[in-house]
């Protein structure tokens, strides 16, 4: 006879799949070395200033303004990228047209392009004498060297994330569900809003979170188009580089730690919304 223990805590549930010890150890080691250790070092460096010191750095008007620009513009850009990305994914998945494969491949280009190249290309396009910049200048809009330029660059690099996260889910939409909605008398618009879109919300949120995170951390493609005017178009990562070149390592680490904190809270919030929406839309 075998006695069954009373719901004993098990670190590892019995399974026929081998290799748990090896893979778990490997995963933990890699995560520690590549992600956790550098972040810990960052926090350790910043802690040299103490909480007061970090607070002091955050209250510096130039730093505060750079943080506001970084997070504010990232948010706006991620929102825009999510909307555009959704439309692009929709068109690429739902319709067949000549050149679809080419467009589909082009979506990944911002992933592959060195960010500095993208930045220079964008800057020359949107500069007041550039192809698009000249047209915008006619209607009185200046894109380059303003937050609008930062926004454009961030949408550019965030778009692939938004597209690639929703694309597989759009492909999975069951045609019969849409037909069922139509036979019940729903218009196309109502079918879209009440039947097709709700199940896609979690994926759209994931894409949004990724685009946002990428935007906050982006450096290379932005600095060329941003103009980097303090208080106007200076982003926090650039400020970190400036601090580093002034040998103010503690100050750089402090800004980085603040960014880390805000990013962490934002992603946590997005993840909570996502968990809620998954439950809400029946993906338990």
Partner 1 sequence: MLHDFHLDVRAGELLGLLGPSGSGKTTLLRIIAGLDFPDRGRVLFGGDDATGLPVQQRAVGFVFQHYALFKHMSVADNIAYGLNARKRSERPGRAEIRRRVGDLLDLIKLSGFADRYPSQLSGGQRQRIALARALAVEPRVLLLDEPFGALDAQVRKDLRRWLREIHDRTGQTTIFVTHDQDEALELSDRVAVLDKGRLEQVGTPDEVQDRPASATVLKFLGDSIELEALAEGGRVLVDGRPTPVAAPRGVIGPTRLHVRPWQLQFVEPAEAHLTGTVRASHRSQGRQRIEVERPDGRLVVVEDFDGERYAAGRPVGLRINGGYVFAG
Interface positions with partner 1 (CB under 8 A): 174, 176-177, 179-187, 190, 194-195, 198-199, 280-282, 284
Q: How far apart are CA 84 and CA 54, in angstroms?
A: 37
In the complex with partner 1, the residue whose CB is nearer, 23 or 187, is 187
CB of 175 vs partner 1, minimal distance in Å: 9
In the complex with partner 1, the residue whose CB is nearer, 186 or 267, is 186
- Among residues 165, 127, 172, the alpha carbon closest in space to that of 146 is found at 127
First to last CA, the chain: 37
In the complex with partner 1, the residue whose CB is nearer, 56 or 178, is 178
CB of 206 vs partner 1, minimal distance in Å: 17
CB of 184 vs partner 1, minimal distance in Å: 4
Please check whether residue 90 is in contact with residue 196, taking contact to mean a CB–CB distance below 8 angstroms: no
Q: How many helices and strands in the chain, by DSSP H and E?
A: 15, 0
Please check whether residue 215 is in contact with residue 158, taking contact to mean a CB–CB distance below 8 angstroms: yes
Residue 213 CA from chain centroid, whole number: 3
CB of 211 vs partner 1, minimal distance in Å: 24
In the complex with partner 1, the residue whose CB is nearer, 29 or 187, is 187
Residue 144 CA from chain centroid, whole number: 22
CB of 23 vs partner 1, minimal distance in Å: 30
CB of 85 vs partner 1, minimal distance in Å: 21
In the complex with partner 1, the residue whose CB is nearer, 5 or 282, is 282
Q: H or E element: which one contains 147?
A: helix 147-171
In the complex with partner 1, the residue whose CB is nearer, 14 or 185, is 185
In the complex with partner 1, the residue whose CB is nearer, 191 or 221, is 191
Sign of CA dihedral 118, 120, 121, 125: positive
CB of 172 vs partner 1, minimal distance in Å: 11
Q: How far apart are CA 49 and CA 243, in angstroms?
A: 15
Please check whether residue 169 is in contact with residue 86, taking contact to mean a CB–CB distance below 8 angstroms: no
How is residue 150 written in tokens? 């930062």
């Amino acid at each position: 006879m075998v006695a069954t223990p009373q719901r004993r805590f098990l670190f590892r549930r019995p399974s026929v799949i081998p290799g748990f010890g090896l893979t778990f150890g490997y995963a933990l080691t890699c995560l520690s070395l590549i992600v956790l250790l550098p972040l810990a070092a960052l926090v350790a460096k910043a802690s040299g200033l103490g909480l007061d010191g970090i607070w002091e750095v955050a209250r510096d008007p130039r730093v505060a303004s750079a943080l506001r620009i970084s997070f504010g513009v990232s948010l706006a850009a991620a929102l825009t990228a999510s909307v555009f990305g959704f439309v692009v994914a929709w068109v690429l998945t739902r319709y067949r047209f000549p050149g679809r494969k080419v467009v589909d491949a082009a979506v990944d280009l911002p992933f592959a392009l060195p960010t500095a190249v993208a930045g220079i290309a964008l800057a020359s396009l949107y500069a007041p004498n550039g192809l698009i910049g000249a047209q915008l200048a006619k209607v009185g809009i200046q894109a380059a060297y303003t937050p609008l330029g930062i926004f454009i660059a961030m949408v550019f690099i965030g778009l692939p994330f938004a597209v690639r996260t929703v694309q597989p889910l759009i492909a999975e939409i069951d045609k019969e569900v849409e037909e069922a909605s139509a036979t019940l008398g729903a218009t196309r618009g109502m079918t879209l809003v009440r039947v097709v879109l709700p199940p896609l919300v979690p994926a759209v949120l994931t894409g949004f979170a990724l685009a946002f995170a990428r935007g906050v951390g982006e450096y290379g493609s932005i600095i060329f188009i941003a103009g980097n005017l303090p208080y106007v178009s200076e982003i926090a990562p650039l400020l970190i580089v400036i601090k580093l070149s002034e040998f103010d390592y503690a100050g750089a680490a402090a800004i980085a730690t603040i960014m880390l904190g805000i990013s962490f809270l934002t992603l946590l919030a997005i993840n909570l919304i996502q968990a809620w929406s998954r439950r809400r839309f029946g993906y338990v």
